[in-house]
Amino acid sequence: MSIQSESRPLTGMAALITGGAGGIGRSTARLLVGDGAHVVIASRSSGHLRETAEELSPLAVEAGGSIRWTTCDATDSEQVLAAVALAAEPTGRLDMAVSVPGGGAMAAVLDYEPEQVAEIVSFNVVAPFIMIKHAGQHMAGAGGGSIVAVSSTAAIQSCRFLAAYCAGKAGVDALVRVAADELGALGVRVNAVRPGLTATDTTQGLVNNDSVVAQYLDQQPLQRIGRPNDIAEAIRFLAGPESSFTTGQFITVDGGHTLRSFVDFSDVVASRATAQ
């Protein structure tokens, strides 16, 4: 039996994913497309977007949805607004929006420059804020929808040498709570996923570091590093109708790491300083 002949839970729904060409975004797009959605993936550069869209196009056709891409800086309000409009074109509304972008540099608290902290915190908070603003406005005018932000276990743990990143992700969590509180009456749900260490293009320096991985596994009940699809499955649940009574919540996908302690990045910071 083909996928198209089956009932797809997201048939007739439209979605936007910023950071859609990275590991987590790509895996999320695959799940949404496979369930019949019309999906737009967006990021700053076109190369991986085009490759991802080409890869997922046969699945989209079979499932009865579509996959398109657009370049978009997730911290640029006008570009995100345009991406929201593009994502809504197939159906006239936007049902699901996912904000993936985030990141930050390692440094001791006493070594960060104020400008560096401001940049990291701003990047992590402003990207989901802009998505919530524009996707939320569209959804509120169309009867509702679901917004999912990617946070981090760093939002709720002390992570030495990641003070700016921790502050940024804690800001994401606070933003999600308030947005969910305000937008619920408009039919818009806002939730977040907190990944643990996950093997993506941007985390290769950590997942290929045997000492770091050993520390993570020592602090995890589940003895493996996360995969992009682990995070995408949680995003898919929060984005879709299966979680229609869930808002202002956080799913931590970390192998149980937050049950124990965060790792010590002292050796990583020292080795990077030596390399410079």
Catalytic (active-site) positions: 165
Nearest Cα to 198, choosing from 219, 225, 229?
Answer: 225
Q: Residue 234 class from Cβ within 10 Å (0-12 exposed, 13-18 middle, 19+ buried)?
A: buried
Q: Return the number of other C-beta atoms located less than 10 Å from residue 97's C-beta.
A: 31
User: How many CA atoms are closer than 13 Å to the CA of 240, on its beta-carbon side?
Assistant: 23
Angle, CA of 8, 12 and 18, to the nearest 5°: 95
Angle, CA of 114, 153 and 119, to the nearest 5°: 20
Angle, CA of 20, 25 and 28, to the nearest 5°: 120
Nearest Cα to 71, choosing from 41, 101, 102?
Answer: 41
Q: Return the number of other C-beta atoms located less than 10 Å from residue 94's C-beta.
A: 29
CB distance 166 to 125 below 8 Å: no
Question: CA 70 from chain center: how many Å?
Answer: 17
